[in-house]
Amino acid sequence: MARNKHKKNRSGDRFRVFQIELLVVFAAILLVVTAILDFAILGLSGRVLKRTASDLIAANSRQLELNINSYLERTETLATLLFSDETFYLYDETDESISDYDKIKYEEKIRDRIVDIGLMENYSDFGIIYADDHKVGWISHGTQDLFPEGGFYDAFSGYIVNHKKNDGWCFGVGGNTDRMYYVKRLNKNAILVSAIYTRELSSVFIYPEQLEGMTIRLVNQEDDIMFSSDFSEIGQKLPTEIAENLGGGNSDYIVNSNVCSNDWRVVCSVPTKIILRENIKQRRIALLISVVMAGIFLIIGLLIFTKVSRPMGGMVDSLQKKAEIDKLSGVMNKATFEESVVNRLADPEEDRVHVFVMLDVDNFKQVNDKLGHAYGDEVIIREGKLLRRLHDESTMIGRLGGDEFALYTECRGMEKSKVTNAVKEQMDKVLEEFLKEFEKEHEQCGISVSAGVYVCDKQGIGFQELYSQADQALYTSKKAGKSQYTLKEYA
Amino acid sequence: MKESKRYSLIIILLIVVVAVGAVISILMLTGDTNEGKVSEARPAETRLLMSWWGNDARHLYTMEGVDLYQEKTPGLSVEYRYGEWNGYEKRTKVWMESHNAADVMQINYAWLEEYSSDGSGFYDLNELAEYINLDSFTEEEKSYGVKNGKLNALPIAMNMHTFYYNQDVLDAYGLTVPESWDDLFDMAKVMKKDGKYVIGMNKKQLFLLLIAYYEQSSGKSFFNEDGSLAIDQKGIEELLVFYRRLIDEGVLCPVDRFDRADYMSGMIAGTMCWISDTKIYCDGLAETGVRVTRGLYPKLEGAERSGWYVKPATMWAINADTEHPEEAAKLLNDLLTDPDMVRLQQTEKGVPVSDAAVSVLMEEGLAETNEYKATQEMNEHISELSLIIPNMENEAIIDAFKSGADEYLFDRETAGNSAADIYKAVQEVIENE
């Protein structure tokens, strides 16, 4: 019977575990499904975001190309203003037929013209270099220092690559990277050299939309970076990962390139991770929300489990309890009492003293005969109440049948002699209280109570032995005249 | 009972986890939204325009310094106008007369008189004192920028001429640094046979060199304090003769043929320049391995006047019409006193006068620089020096002098006629101002 009870408990636990497992599985499924849906939607939005950013970069790049074209064309146009008067472009300083005085006057005129043309421009250089390296106009010390041994004219002449317009743009002259030059031939012995600081292009490369993380570069045909919004890159080669993705984008960069009027290129690039940063952040949030939702689901599930499943369990427990309780006396029925005592005895605790008491109402038959069976039942009810009142929760009380009751308790950590004394006191009290409770019935029918007590500290003792010993003691009490108890101790 | 407790614990733990998760989610969703922005419209900015003249080095470090300042000052955008000195006065005239000048301007000392003789041409910096560290300047230093009681500009450094000689060239001829005008002619006698000149300089320095000679030799001033001509036609004629002698005897390289490259190569032994040009003419040469020696101001024995002048090297001023005086003042203060800017500038404009700038540079070895040594020498002779008269730097006057002198130098006119032409042309320039 006890084994059955254990089986029942284990199956109940397994059912609860199953219920929780079910909740967890559902929460996990919810988490996965929500996450998949979120990621699918965000993946789509990421692709849209990337495409939109790519379009925006392309638009910016195109705008910047137009800006730089406009800037280059302006420089070229200003240079052509030297062709407004033959003096400016035909003057040949190397012509020995021109007197020194005339040379001074020509050059003063040219100098004035240069000042007029460049009046509102931020040039680092704007001047004419003649075949003998003589210079007129603004030729900076920075440029002069590039050729400490001379050779300006020949060097800059070499950069004239457009033979129709007789001009050319160049960068990195003599290793210099802080400016870019425009060179135009004026006559067979004179070239115009103008230069602007690459830093100056910051004002050219302004665009209305600020795309975070975008690097704007101006590169020449050799992929030398002439300008970069990251100044530290100026003078270096275009990074391979950018150069390999011109006009498109790999997984790491979105790159766009536009060719300028002089074949230089504006290259804009943005690390993809920056474009998708918001999307990645949203993915994290979505994942978090999924986890939170799953958590909420789990909590709600557990709450339902607690509020619904547990009370139902309580109802079942209550029904079970009803089956275990003797309806009349309100104490355990015989089977339950026995099972409970057996369970308690199964506890491996060694240091304990068992107390088993058998109680039987003397002359109970007189009550049934004189006062009726209903009254007899009433006596049983009252006796059950009395016993429950006189004993605490740790004492098991059972009705074994008819007017026979049994008590079982155990005392831990106490010597048997002390237990025996306590039991005696308790039994005196039980007998005394019984007579008080049933004083009228005692007078009418002579009822009293007899008890057999068995006190035992034997380990591993079984129910039957306890029962048998106590029953023998009860028999002794009955035989000795009733309304008394007999205490037997395990020797 | 135990099982019930365990379930309660699990539920409490789950509630805590979910609550923490929810809070984090909310924080992430409502957190710094700017961080997540991929693109945004360029924010509105206060736009300042600043202008300066100078050489390569100045352009580059000024742009770098101002870019640094912009990084430190969100919402401010500074645009530049810059160029070489040659022609820059014309640009300034266009800007000033058209009321289109930059908010913050590097100005020449002479322009205070030209554009703000009554003090109204530039912003009164005293009104912006809360944004400018004026305590970094002595009263005397500030007084250079005062016009009609208004503080129109603050000096960056004090400047005067200095001479640098290529010691290797001098040694090659067994010469020492000249101290007098006669020394210059004696040196030329030795060097001329090799086609080398003793000194070379630009036309502005030449004009000031000739003024110095005139004042030493005549004992009179070239200009009166009010900028009018003190010299007469006869004086100009004598000066033209001296000028021609300098060229003919090989002392001076003709200004039109003066090329820094010839000075660097040793074809010209020495040069006269502003202390603030030391980097170009002294350090540049020294970097090529040549020994450079600072020269003295040529003197005429028994002269009553030194003929040499001192001036604020360059000054910072604020446009009287600026719409952003506060921002302009803060930028001006940065240019004069900010440690980052001072470190970039070093002594390119000469030894700064601002105490704040000097203290920064002293930590970086200012005392060892050629500019500092030249300035120390200037200070030793300060009692002999006068504050420059603005017309001494007037480009139109200098051009008129050179143009007239060329007529004489190339035998197209007599010294007398050229002097008459110069006198007349200069008078016209002065009267038209």
Same domain, B348 and B277: no
B78-98 per-position pLDDT tens digit: 999 999 888 898 899 999 999
Q: Which pLDDT does position A394 carry in this prediction?
A: 86
CA atoms of B362 and B383, how far apart (whole Å): 25
Q: Which of B37, B39, B49, B67 to mutate to test the interface with A (most CBs of A within 10 A)?
A: B39
Nearest CB to B25: which of A138, A211, A288? A288
Q: Are residues B59 and B203 in the same domain?
A: no
Q: Average pLDDT of chain A?
A: 85
Task: Compute the average pLDDT of residues A153-157.
Answer: 94
Q: Residue B329: which CATH number?
A: 3.40.190.10
Choose between A278 and B249: higher pLDDT: B249
- Structural domain includes residue B349: yes
Give the side-chain half-sphere CA count within 13 A for A414.
17
> Which among B24, B28, B63 has CB closest to A199?
B63
When CB atoms are compared, the residue of B21, B280, B410 closest to A101 is B410
Looking at residue A475, its pLDDT comes to 94
Q: Residue B166: what pLDDT?
A: 93
Beta bridge partners of B165: B270, B293
Could B18 and A56 be called an inter-chain contact, meaning their C-beta atoms sit closer than 8 Å? Answer: no
Local confidence band at A43 (pLDDT 50, 70, 90 cut-offs): confident
Nearest residue on chain A to B409, judged by CA atoms? A101
pLDDT bracket for residue B129 (50, 70, 90):
very high
Same domain, yes or no, for B405 and B292? yes
Give a yes or no: residue B16 inside a domain: no
The CB density around residue A325, as the number of other CB atoms within 10 Å, is 17
Write b or e for each residue in B97-122: b if 16 or more Cβ atoms lie within 10 A of its Cβ, otherwise e. Answer: eeeebbbbbbbbbbbbbbbbeebebb
Residues of B with Cβ-Cβ distance to A111 under 8 angstroms: 86-87
pLDDT at B68: 93
Using an 8 Å CB-CB cutoff, list chain B residues near A27. none
- Tell me the per-residue pLDDT of A379-403, one tens digit each, with 9 for 90 and over: 999 999 999 999 988 899 999 988 9
Residue A162 has what DSSP assignment? B
Same structural domain, B179 and B294:
yes
Count of structural domains within chain B: 2
What's the average model confidence in pLDDT over B361-389?
A: 87
- A93 pLDDT higher than 50: yes
Mean pLDDT throughout B29-42?
Answer: 54
Per-residue confidence (pLDDT) for residue A7, from 0 to 100: 47
pLDDT for A1 equals 41
With cut-offs at 50, 70 and 90, classify the pLDDT of residue B341: very high
Query: What mean pLDDT do residues B264-288 have?
Result: 86
Cα nearest neighbour of B44 on chain A: A208
Residues B219 and B104 in one domain: no
List chain B residues with CB under 8 Å of A49: 38
- Residues of chain B contacting A289 with CB distance shorter than 8 Å: 25
Q: A490 in helix, strand or coil?
A: coil
Pair B184, B296 in one domain: yes
Residues of A in contact with B22 (CB under 8 A): 292
Residues B17, B329: Cα–Cα separation, whole Å: 56
**pLDDT grade, residue B34 (50/70/90)?**
very low
- Which of A197, A214, A279 should we substitute to test contact with B (largest number of B Cβ atoms within 10 Å)? A197
Q: Which residues of A touch B78 (CB under 8 A)?
A: none
pLDDT at residue A292 in the model: 80
Interval A438-451 mean pLDDT: 91
Predicted local confidence at residue A195, as pLDDT: 95
- Across the interface, whether the CB atoms of A284 and B28 are under 8 A apart is answered yes
The yes-or-no verdict on residue B386 having pLDDT over 80 is yes
Taking the C-alpha atoms of residue A449 and residue A407, their distance in angstroms, rounded to an integer, is: 14
Backbone angles phi, psi at A418, to 5 degrees: -70, -40
Q: Are residues B261 and B183 in the same domain?
A: yes
Which tops the pLDDT comparison, A188 or B283? Answer: A188
In a domain, B354, yes or no: yes
Six-digit token string for A230: 């990251």
Closest-approach residue (CA) in chain B for A112: B87
pTM of the model: 0.68
By percentage, how much of chain B surpasses pLDDT 70?
Answer: 91
Average pLDDT over residues B319-332: 96
Q: Do B14 and A178 touch (CB under 8 A)?
A: no
Choose the closest CB to A299 out of B11, B83, B256: B11
Section A60-80 average pLDDT: 89
* Of the listed ranges A5-19, B11-25, B135-149, B164-178, the one predicted with least confidence: A5-19
> Are B83 and A121 a contacting pair at CB < 8 A?
yes
* Chain B residues lying within 8 Å of A133, measured CB to CB: 261
Q: What is the pLDDT of residue B242?
A: 97
* Residue A119 with chain B: CB contacts under 8 Å: 87, 90-91, 94
pLDDT digits (tens, 9 = 90+) for A245-272: 775 555 688 888 888 888 899 988 888 8
Q: CA distances (Å), B139 to each of A151, B144, B412, in order? A: 51, 9, 51
Residue in B29, B23, B319 with CA at minimum distance from that of residue B153? B319
Q: Which tens digits make up the pLDDT trace of A182-221?
A: 999 999 999 999 999 988 888 788 766 667 788 889 999 8
Half-sphere exposure of B174 (CA within 13 A, CB side): 2
Q: Is the ipTM of this complex over 0.85?
A: no
Give B174-220 pLDDT, tens digit per residue.
999 999 999 999 999 999 999 999 999 999 999 999 999 999 999 99
Residue A1 to residues A5, A314, A336, A401, B431: CA-CA distances in angstroms?
6, 22, 10, 19, 133
The answer, for A232 touching chain B at a CB cutoff of 8 Å, is no
Residue with more model confidence, B229 or A491: B229
**B280·A295 Cβ contact <8 A:** no
In angstroms, the Cα distances linking B23 to A148, A235, B17, B26, B30 are 69, 49, 10, 5, 10
Percent of chain A with pLDDT over 70: 91
Same-domain check for residues B75 and B148 = yes
More reliable by pLDDT, B161 or B417: B417
pLDDT of residue A2: 42
Q: Is residue B327 in some structural domain?
A: yes
Residues of B in contact with A203 (CB under 8 A): 79
B290-307 confidence digits (pLDDT tens): 889 998 889 888 888 889
8 Å CB contact of A211 and B39: yes
Inform me whether the C-beta atom of residue A280 falls under 8 Å from chain B C-beta atoms.
no
* Cβ neighbours of B21 in A, within 8 Å: 288, 291-292, 295
Put simply, the answer to whether A274 touches B42 (Cβ < 8 Å) is no
Domain hosting residue B86, numbered range: 46-157+313-362
Phi-psi region of B124 (alpha: psi -120 to 50; beta: other; left: phi over 0): beta
Report if residue B300 sits inside a domain: yes
The percent of residues in chain B predicted with pLDDT above 90, rounded, is: 60
Are B409 and B266 contained in the same domain? yes
Same domain for B351 and B292, yes or no, is: no
- Strand ranges for A90-178 from DSSP E: 125-130, 135-138, 167-171
Which domains are seen in chain A, by residue range?
30-321 (no CATH), 334-489 (3.30.70.270)
Query: How many Å apart are CA A233 and CA A230, to the nearest integer?
Result: 6
Tell me what pLDDT residue B37 has: 55
Asked if residue B8 is part of any domain, the answer here is: no
Residue B28: band (very low, low, confident or very high) from pLDDT cuts 50, 70, 90: low
- Given this model, what pLDDT does residue A95 score? 93
Q: With cut-offs at 50, 70 and 90, classify the pLDDT of residue A319.
A: low
Long-range contacts of B366-371 (CB under 8 A, 24+ apart): B369/B278, B370/B278, B370/B282, B370/B283, B370/B292, B370/B294, B371/B275, B371/B276, B371/B278, B371/B347
Average pLDDT, integer, range B342-355: 90
CB contacts, 8 Å: B81 with chain A? 120, 122
User: How confident is residue B247, by pLDDT bands cut at 50, 70 and 90?
Assistant: very high
Q: Does B14 fall in a domain? A: no
Residues B190 and B256 in one domain: yes
Inter-chain residue contact A101 with B40, CB threshold 8 Å:
no
Best mutation target among B38, B47, B271 (most A Cβ atoms within 10 Å) is B38
CB distance A118–B87 less than 8 Å?
A: yes
B235 and B97 inside one domain? no
Query: Which alpha helices (H) appear in A346-409, and where do they start and end?
Result: 364-371, 373-390
Residues 193-212 of A with CB under 8 A from B: 197, 199, 202-203, 206-212
Which residue would you say has higher pLDDT here, B200 or A222? B200
Q: Which residue of B has its CA nearest to A282?
A: B29
Residue A361: per-residue pLDDT:
92
Residue A469 has a pLDDT of 94
> Using the beta-carbon criterion (under 8 Å), do A210 and B29 form an inter-chain contact?
no
Q: Please answer yes or no on whether A206 and B42 come within 8 Å at the CB atom.
A: yes
Report CB contact under 8 Å: B17, A148. Answer: no
The span from the CA of A219 to the CA of A10, in Å, is 78
Whether the per-residue pLDDT at A477 is higher than 90: the answer is yes
pLDDT of residue A150: 85
Instruction: Compute the mean pLDDT over every residue in chain B, rounded to the nearest whole number.
Output: 89
Whether residue A303 and residue B11 make contact (CB cut-off 8 A), yes or no, is yes
- What percentage of chain A carries pLDDT values higher than 90? 42
Tell me whether residue B171 is in a domain: yes
Q: Shortest CA distance to B42 belongs to which of A72, A60, A272? A: A60
Q: What is the predicted pLDDT for the residue at B42?
A: 62
> β-pairing, A179-187 with A190-197?
antiparallel
Measured CA to CA, the distance from residue A225 to residue A218 in angstroms comes to 6
Residue with the bigger pLDDT between A275 and A91: it is A91
